[in-house]
Structure 1
């Protein structure tokens, strides 16, 4: 049995809410507010309900949310009634003054006062949250969007008064974490800040534990779920780049959570609370909000703390660790026992998931694996500048040679045959290490004659560090990343690519490290030497095996080559061995993601929908290779994966007018239906979709309308074809976090969680709906010794003193899981489809650990991430940027 960090409550135990019902007149008045800027350097924006809610939270020192009073999110152009929800009634005079002051600031000083009178006329009620839930008995509960926020506040408040005990070996030792609640309903270990240091460079960092709560629904479950999300929040020691601040309000015993901006102050910058929050507090004659200075942040001496703005190097690692999660799970059960909560658990099925093959594709299987690319000749083009990178590339390619000694005579700019189908060519290109943009059309002109001779995958050296470094002594900051430019040029030539980071040549081992112990050393130790030169064991002692020296493998080069092979369409027999299919089947992955169209200067409100469709063609006949295809919108055809990725990467990443809602969602559905209809008409389809990304496009994926509303299979079974839909959810906020295998045996330390195993688990609700759960530990947790599993042997507060400095700066991993549901099984049993999804996560193509998504869906996501415009400015937007001399 797998336990999790999610709990179920009967709806009647969710508590009450204070509601101010706002009319359509209020919504109409809101729409008449002008664009505003709360800082001279910011761009004008439309007022959002969250802006006023933040100001009211600061005035009242309690959670406040203003949201439309609808069950489904309204369209942007609709005017619908809203509600103001909070935990306690707000004094009418204070509410009126705060809203009027905020509106006056929005209007630049004009006292039109349109919102406060309408809010003062609103009805204030204190109903039970139970009254707002629909269809709970059927296992499809629905509620307004604000309901989920308020239910999380109430649950957090129920835990807040009880400290969390973290034992340190004895029943009464260890640490007790006391919580403060912030105005978003999170619990903060405010008085228990941890400190970390590094010497090179000399830095000091701080962090504190934080609990977030998310109200969720589970498939087919009548009760409401609460998912507890523990984080180790790292705190900034300066204000630069920060976006979120916490400010302690001692009198109210609550912490304000405020969005932070930055404005000019003389020759420097200073932080400020956005949305005029500090000005509204001052207008209400309340204690001023003081964010403090860089010095107070650095010393943690003020009332304010700020979150580190994003991924960056820090003296403290991320994560709480699995042991903390187990203590937390037991704490929640005890602290909230009056609510009669039930922990969400999953039972083991009889399905064991086995990985039959690991490692790269072997030489004997390579030609057969590449046949799915539908090209007789395939080439790896290795572009390098550093001689050591050339050696690393050749070393990684050596296993594919019949005679490894042949590499000694390899010269640049010649094709050398690895197998009957695959060859390799080396080419030196100094421009790869340029610190400034390059004329790639000129540098890559030599590729033109290669395009027509073979399908080419390019393996490219890079010096760019994805973690941008600040300049330090002897080290130049990274200023130019050529990957985006190079990928676009390769894609336009019909090529796929993979990059290998340059690394320095390792120093040779010292002679003394290679020498065997001398007789003199053995004599000093009073221990004779054996025949092999190693000390002989003492009498009665078991002889120790001589330490074997293993060759040091270049995993970045090996894995990079494996990834390039998969991008060129190499599919060997490993999937066929790990998956049981008794008939030809097409496994489809539908990957959707909405991306903002941005430029280098500022950002745009416009978004595009990124749509990537892949198809894995399977056959039970071992002589028939499995092959990967990708749909090309430009060609309205399914192409072999490398050609499909090149066609996708050569154009814009997204599709205009396609969106998650309304007409945009209908366009997405029609586009994907048209793509799927041209797959072979009689072959069975199994469609894997990402739940979080796709459920607004196809409502039948939502728990409230599961299997009954529109699904991706609509219109595909007209000719009798079997179509199944499998929904894959990996959202950290929605899929309960695994904690422990409660039925594990033989554990020496009862407080050390047992890692997930290779069995599929399931949960069947009272309404008869089954969902499946495939839990996993990270590769780092399992593969890097003590530093990988430190979070299972202690908590950050109970680290032994001799290990504290080392372990605090490491990342502490937790377990993760994939939730599988089957809204449409087609001709299969739902359990068999869940086992198929788990097997396609466990046996990946180019990775020896599990992936979060089954192979077709994982490949589609990988293609998206490899697009030159992935989460970045579009090439078209960059080309349209005005020059410096244009006003």
Structure 2
């Protein structure tokens, strides 16, 4: 049995909150202010969010201004945990409006006079339309976590004999304020971090209640305000306030330069309401280290490592079980039925897999594509990197091929079908203005040739601490315009060079394995995985990954983009027939993976997320599924990530799972297509924390047992099943240092092991598989095949969080030159 850090929330446990139904005139005035709202760096992106932040600062309690259904439609509610003093509410709203408008306008506050809070049972806003189904008004998911957090904070958490009190902050998160994690710096000061627990309210397939998923993180504190986006301020009663405030931080430009300010006019409004001023200033973190604590938005270098470890999660789960008076959600081992029933294996034994693709297998994979040859072009700036690449390629060299020489611009054979050529183009590799013509001029073997696929391995020396733009994005796009997919490898600093000639160069190994992924090359490892006994793939099939993501820009005038990426593997259980990998290019169709990837990286990352974006995405996916090349009789198994797809296809949501719209519905053969929803987001699905029985056990009874990479199943109230593949990271499996989070908690680490605070403490994670439609597969086969494709990557020994075709689609998106970029022009019409 697999325990998780998740709990059901039955109706009687949902509690009550105070709701202010906002008058229509107030809502219209707020929306009118929004139409003239200008995105600035000292306030939220929308007025309703800015107002909620300001009221949170004044009341010290969570406050949300949310629509009952969707923005711009129906009632709008102001929700909080306790009634707000009417005088404070009027002063705060009036002051906020005047600061927003930059005038003495007072429209909003008078409209709230006479509006009284209504004590509301959250259970009244939750519906159960059918057994195993639950639906709630959208605002409930946001505010219910406050109720759960308050129950969890009622008593200290016991970490192996040490009690730690968590305070409830104004966002509804739990913060170990009085027990910071510390690690001495060389200068004699202490680096600090704070543990934070956040309850996330979710639904689960087949479960007729809302569930709570616990997420524990380590927030690493900063000593200065540079790049800080949020702060905690202790504004408790001894400081003239009432709570531990979590407030946004922005900046303003004036004649003296750029200054950091508390967002949404929080400091001004707190003062206007007669409360003690909030401490603030350029040196506030040094002047008030026990009252004000800040962290950066990005995961930058810090003396304290990331993560809390699985032992902490197990202690939190035990605490939550008592606080919520509930048992954690559990999964049972999935076994095959019938005679000789036993556990269903999902992973080929490591001893049966090469850590890289062997030369003869590489040639076979190349021969299966429409290209007869592969050319690897390495573009470097230093002789050290050229040497590292030559040494790394030795594993792929056929014994009958000569050893490559350091000569530049000379094509040299690696296998019967593979050749290598190198160029030294240091100036171009650091040029953010580089273009395809310049690259082709300096490295002519990049130019396309009939029957030859070209891939590029490119050196980059960009320092993440350097303020100069990184040239990787323009380089990748310029290469893609030449039809060349690219992989980057960082210059190794002299201080990291190993004196051991036998030492493994892990960055080069990883880069070359990723180069094989770009080419769509694999050997028998994927076939071996999906043809293991019990639920084996027994016929040729299409295995399709569909990745959907909404990219929200940061630039004021840029528009959001909907990214849609499809990758397909044609799988065949016959060992004599190699697998092929393809990528869909809108307007062109399915192309071999490397060519499709280059075309994608040379074009817009997605289509503008306008009114018809979801309908257009459905049409694009159906068009792609309906045009898979050849093999018309082969069944199709679609694996789609859950992140954004549930809004595109209603049949992927828990509320309408399998009954609403699904990928392929626009095709005559839709019923024959299996659709499996994949989720690996740690705050969307129950996190594995402990295998309660079976397997090798530790002598320490309080140590969590790892999930062993097996497949587990949960059966809901209506019989709907969801599968979970538990997983440990490579770091966790690397040795006793990697497992320190299972041996200790950060609060109970022995003094002599204090150095371990600087290490990453990885916890157990999982991937959830939900079969929305089984098509020509059985439900069990569809889930098992998807799980097996997580347990065996394309070209290396290891695991991925998503099945191979979906993993390839997601990585293609993340490698796009405009991934997470805010350029307005990087969209295609529609």
**TM-score, scaled relative to structure 1:** 0.86
Q: Which runs of 5+ in 2 are unaligned?
A: 336-343, 531-535
On the 8 A contact 1:634/1:647 being kept in 2, the answer is no
The correspondence for 2:302, drawn from 314, 336, 339, is: 314
Cα separation, 2, equivalents of 1:808 and 1:622: 49
Structure 2 partner of 1:595: 551
* 1:134-533 alignment runs, 5 A limit: 134-135=127-128, 137-167=130-160, 174-199=161-186, 204-251=190-237, 254-264=243-253, 267=256, 269-294=258-283, 296-298=284-286, 301-337=289-325, 341-350=326-335, 351-355=344-348, 356-403=352-399, 406-407=402-403, 409=405, 411-431=407-427, 434=430, 438=434, 441-448=437-444, 450-453=447-450, 454-465=452-463, 468-469=464-465, 477=466, 479-504=468-493
* 1:764-783 alignment runs, 5 A limit: 764-783=715-734
The correspondence for 1:613, drawn from 562, 566, 586, is: 566
Aligned pair in 2 of structure 1 residues 646, 162: CA closer, same or farther (>3 Å)?
same
1:27 aligns with 2:27: yes
Structure 2 partner of 1:691: 642
Structure 2 partner of 1:553: 504
Structure 1 counterpart SS, 2:607: coil
Cα separation, 2, equivalents of 1:21 and 1:632: 48
For each residue in 1:679-738, what CA deviation from the matched residue of structure 2 results, as whole angstroms up to 9, or x when unmatched?
24432111111112200000111111111111112022x158720100001122111111
For each residue in 1:744-771, what CA deviation from the matched residue of structure 2 results, as whole angstroms up to 9, or x when unmatched?
4532001111112132001001211110
Cα separation, 1, equivalents of 2:817 and 2:372: 28
On the 8 A contact 1:183/1:257 being kept in 2, the answer is yes
Structure 1 counterpart SS, 2:3: strand
Cα separation, 1, equivalents of 2:669 and 2:59: 62
Cα separation, 2, equivalents of 1:268 and 1:380: 49
Cα separation, 1, equivalents of 2:289 and 2:507: 44
Cα separation, 1, equivalents of 2:57 and 2:492: 51
For each residue in 1:309-345, what CA deviation from the matched residue of structure 2 results, as whole angstroms up to 9, or x when unmatched?
31111111111111111111111112232xxx22111
1:823 aligns with 2:784: no
Cα separation, 2, equivalents of 1:414 and 1:236: 51
Structure 2 counterpart SS, 1:788: coil
Structure 2 partner of 1:739: 689
Cα drift, residue 94 of structure 1: 2.3
The correspondence for 1:867, drawn from 799, 804, 816, is: 816
Cα drift, residue 405 of structure 1: 8.4
Cα separation, 1, equivalents of 2:301 and 2:498: 30
On the 8 A contact 1:236/1:308 being kept in 2, the answer is yes
Structure 1 counterpart SS, 2:33: coil
Aligned pair in 2 of structure 1 residues 8, 644: CA closer, same or farther (>3 Å)?
same
Cα drift, residue 420 of structure 1: 1.9
Aligned residues: 803
On the 8 A contact 2:43/2:250 being kept in 1, the answer is no
Cα drift, residue 509 of structure 1: 8.9
Cα drift, residue 259 of structure 1: 0.9
Cα separation, 2, equivalents of 1:436 and 1:497: 16
For each residue in 1:835-883, what CA deviation from the matched residue of structure 2 results, as whole angstroms up to 9, or x when unmatched?
11110000111332211110010001111122111222549579xxxxx
The correspondence for 1:793, drawn from 713, 738, 743, is: 743
On the 8 A contact 2:37/2:47 being kept in 1, the answer is no
Structure 1 counterpart SS, 2:269: helix
On the 8 A contact 2:367/2:373 being kept in 1, the answer is no
Structure 1 counterpart SS, 2:117: strand
On the 8 A contact 1:373/1:642 being kept in 2, the answer is no
Cα drift, residue 120 of structure 1: 2.9
Structure 2 partner of 1:96: 90
Cα drift, residue 404 of structure 1: 7.6
Structure 2 partner of 1:749: 700
Cα separation, 2, equivalents of 1:25 and 1:505: 66
Cα drift, residue 672 of structure 1: 1.6
Cα separation, 2, equivalents of 1:91 and 1:797: 39
For each residue in 1:286-326, what CA deviation from the matched residue of structure 2 results, as whole angstroms up to 9, or x when unmatched?
222223542x4136535221122311111111111111111
On the 8 A contact 2:42/2:262 being kept in 1, the answer is no
Structure 1 counterpart SS, 2:220: strand
Cα drift, residue 824 of structure 1: 0.6
For each residue in 1:239-269, what CA deviation from the matched residue of structure 2 results, as whole angstroms up to 9, or x when unmatched?
1111111111221652111111123577464
On the 8 A contact 1:756/1:776 being kept in 2, the answer is yes
Aligned pair in 2 of structure 1 residues 265, 413: CA closer, same or farther (>3 Å)?
closer
Aligned pair in 2 of structure 1 residues 434, 819: CA closer, same or farther (>3 Å)?
closer
1:62 aligns with 2:11: no
Cα drift, residue 38 of structure 1: 9.7
Structure 2 partner of 1:572: 523
Q: Tell me which moved more, 549-558 or 743-752.
A: 549-558
Structure 1 partner of 2:341: none
Q: Which runs of 5+ in 1 are unaligned?
A: 168-173, 470-476, 511-548, 879-887
Cα drift, residue 373 of structure 1: 2.7
Cα separation, 2, equivalents of 1:274 and 1:509: 48
1:729 aligns with 2:679: yes
Structure 2 counterpart SS, 1:494: coil
On the 8 A contact 1:777/1:814 being kept in 2, the answer is yes
For each residue in 1:624-676, what CA deviation from the matched residue of structure 2 results, as whole angstroms up to 9, or x when unmatched?
111000111141x10000110111111111112x45xx522111111221122
Structure 1 counterpart SS, 2:89: helix
Cα drift, residue 54 of structure 1: 1.5
1:12 aligns with 2:12: yes
Cα drift, residue 385 of structure 1: 2.8
